[in-house]
Structure 1
């Protein structure tokens, strides 16, 4: 491999597995670590073709012992989602191969095609990106798989919520009471379940609003079946933490403007939005770290906690 230092971390057994899934006469010539992964290591593999050109694939490997117990489920979900999405028009990678139990690889791994573009996390141009995100999420929720993925998983409980220091105690107590209620009835939809700016790729395009177009959606390891409001809630809280609470509230509106159909009742919508906002309280450190590594150095853990507090308070003040 051309980049010996980086390629060395792709273990020989995994490299051999990748090679078995290449076309005749192809070989891996370079491996580049991609930033931003929390639960898995992600590599862009440059593949030399028979005609002297190159093409790119992406390798996802679960190497962290703490995430190993979830690796098989996550890889099977991702492989299933990529299979479902093929031909739907949703810009997702194509599945090449998967080894969910590390039967042949050093670690549980998935190989897929590479999409152009990159996540955009800066504040500039967020209005245009919010509209693009909303339209894309509506398209994802319109997918009707022949076989449903597993039911969604709730990411928090009343007892696991971490109230930020100096938070609005009354607002957080009221929010916890919201999720004590029975789970609202909902019409199931195909969910990404981690749809947020870090998992969406954009490319420059002067012909598109804001000068960018949405080029791809990645990381389908949590694909599920559940309420559309849950995907809306997850993207909303991430936008609130990245760009300020107002953008979290704006995304829910943009989703409806794009044709999305949230829960009919105010109480039901509030339940899902509060549930995912409270779930974020448990992940502030792990979520904010890759944002800082991507250049948003001002997003310290404390700043993100303050934004989360402001967002939860805004939800409780204006539940509609």
Structure 2
């Protein structure tokens, strides 16, 4: 990893979702750059980009936890016909995520091999991270936004005209303040917490990060012991944001990022909660464990110089009974679960928890 100071410009070519703005200097902690393209796609087009079905393409990698949020929300809301999705492979070179999963290694809609091309269409001098998720304007080929946190909120609140019948309300008005508070803690101490451990630049910064992460997980364990979901009695944006870290915890973060006080399977409420969500349509059917492991273990050569990808752990336990129904709650509230995953978006056989 290049040595930088938190105020330094991000060098060209930092392409992984964890690379942009991640600084780990001797004695220092972890800092993620948050200088995203914050243009919003809204119902009223206030930023010049109105919601229009078929106009945009969501570009993701199933390996990336930030992109996985968008994959889950898009599926729960039934936006497949309104917002197409391009899937990058789990690994990349120093320049960019690539479309190596597609025939000819070219995205069939955007006609590009590298996501970097879409960023340079937006700004030929773009020198920040080439991150996923990104939403691209198909006609111009330019990235509109890569602001992953706002992106999923806008899918819930700005794209309502194109939600499927029975789509859940993932960001209900009455609960937004609590959702925001819980989601902020999750982002700060859990989503980013695992990275603070993995990319710590000193023993001291690692120790601080480790304590902070597991203190947060202990709070969540207590919270979820008596309630099925994080906020209210239905699935919300907060649950999506926690799930994408939990589903990677034992397969990557426990060993690769040294987050090893406990496995997820050692935390009864969190483990049952995570299985409950995994078995809910829209969550587990988007998870690709093979891509997740390949990305972290092959790309992070500073942490794993050999590039060897571990065979384990077993993932079949994600399908075992969780018993969370006893706590009440209705996953989709007054709505309904999404239908089967469309054929062209299914996780490859053998990559899930079959």
Give TM-score, length-normalised by structure 1: 0.33
Give TM-score, length-normalised by structure 2: 0.31
More strand by share: 1
